[in-house]
Amino acid sequence: MQAKLFTDGGSRGNPGPAAAGVVLTFSDTTTKELGVYLGKCTNNEAEYQALLAGLTLALEHNVTALACFLDSELVVKQLNGVYKVKNVRMQELYMQVKKLEKQFEKITYTSVPREQNSQADGLVNQVLDSTAA
């Protein structure tokens, strides 16, 4: 089964309270959404955590071919082998993604402008707004 995955991670403060937004769309236009509070982390860590949540959701729905869209150019370039992952925490998250990636027959990562990722971005803000003290 094929699907498109839009993910976004964000933190308020860097590091600070963070959340992940995930939008999984199937070819029949069925959409699954997920918003998750991540606790305190950096924006880049939140981007990876969002992707991990999205990959897990896709696997739970038996997706075999996945096109991933992120507005984090850094994460996309790291996953596509353009940039090295130097930060130790980011290396751990990167390796988790690479491990999950092997369970798909085909997977791609594409960087998109934030405007094209507004649904996932909205989920991040919704979660952060609802958990603000």
Over the stretch 21-51, which tens digit does the pLDDT of each residue have? 999 999 878 899 999 999 999 999 999 999 9
Q: 2-128 in CATH: which number?
A: 3.30.420.10
Distance CA 66, CA 46 (A): 20
Distance CA 58, CA 87 (A): 27
Distance CA 9, CA 120 (A): 8
Please report the sign of the dihedral spanned by the C-alpha atoms of residue 97, residue 98, residue 104, residue 106. positive
Q: What is the DSSP letter of 133?
A: -
Tens digits of residue pLDDT in 69-97: 999 999 999 999 999 999 999 999 999 99
User: Per-residue confidence at 65, pLDDT binned at 50, 70, 90?
Assistant: very high
